[in-house]
Amino acid sequence: MDFRLKVFYSVATNLSFTKASKELFISQPAISKHIHELEVQYKTPLFDRTGNRIVLTRAGELLLSHTNTLLAAYRQLDFEMNLLTDNVCGELRLGASTTIAQYVLPPILSSFVRKFPDIRVSLLNGNSHDIEKALRDGKITLGLVEGYARQSSLHYTPFMKDELVVITHTGSKLAHYEELTLEQLCTLPLVLRENGSGTLAVLESALGEHQIKLSHLKVLMQLGSTESIKLFLENSDALAIVSVRAVARELMSGVFKVIDVTDFSAERMFSFVQLMGQSGGLEESFMRYTETYK
């Protein structure tokens, strides 16, 4: 990677030539020279200088965005090359809650096993409680769960954000709605995930912020997977609340539509979960590998 971009990145993130000089162990005149060369190359200032303060110009912000991407790619390159040259082999026993296992992990796992064929990968599927229990029982060594519930004996590492949305089939009698109030939502037939699922836990927490309980909803049915909810929805006049990641294809193809709910959002974080004190190994390597998919 062009060293001048490393210099630019250091100056841009510190907003200081002095701090960049100390960080990179080169003189401040050398820092200024590298920045000047980039400004000449791109024929535009990268920083506005006011007294002792500097701020990024629009061109500087654009260059920083691309530099972030390049640095991440180089870090991933180093990681994968080191993993290959270390002749890594062994078994990676994963467990993931349903939404993650069905809609997030498959492309990541496909890429991972193609690059590292000597690593045997297995994936256990269940709801968040199932995965945490499997981890404690030693059936898996790394889990991915959704929702807010946390066990004190386990360690959680954030992985990816998700959002729950209200959907209906575009052929449903409810498809004329573009937006609902929470009060209206409580009166319409709903299909939800089963008790114990991370999706339901997040919904329950988000509704609780508005003093609404699940018992206040008109729940038509609870089903054990998002796929069964989608199939049910295609043949009924009902609403469902599911991960937006689970219905991305159907939304693009026009099978389902999202109905906004006024002043309401239900967001969550997908998280890696490990036994407390566990670190290193293939599990740590896989967690680092997934960084590029965020």
Buried (b) or exposed (e) across 128-138, using 16+ Cβ within 10 A?
bbbbbbbbeee
Q: Which domains does the chain have, with CATH numbers?
A: 1-82 (1.10.10.10), 88-158+268-290 (3.40.190.10), 160-266 (3.40.190.290)
Segment 20-40 shows an average pLDDT of 93
Closest of 182, 175, 185, 144 to residue 290, by C-alpha = 144
What is the structure's pLDDT at 120?
85
Determine the residue type at 77: L
Task: Assess contact for 57 and 47: CB atoms under 8 A.
Answer: yes
What is the structure's pLDDT at 170?
95
Closest of 249, 265, 255, 259 to residue 164, by C-alpha = 265
Per-residue pLDDT tens for 137-188? 888 989 999 865 577 788 899 999 999 999 999 999 999 999 999 999 999 9
What percentage of the chain carries pLDDT values higher than 70?
Answer: 92
What is the structure's pLDDT at 83?
67
Does residue 210 have a pLDDT over 70?
A: yes
Question: Residue 107, Cβ neighbours under 10 Å: how many?
Answer: 10
Burial class (CB in 10 A: 0-12, 13-18, 19+), 169: buried
Judge if pTM exceeds 0.75: no
Question: Residue 24, Cβ neighbours under 10 Å: how many?
Answer: 17
Distance in angstroms (rounded) separating the CA atoms of residues 185 and 188:
6
The residue whose two tokens read 């998280």 is 271
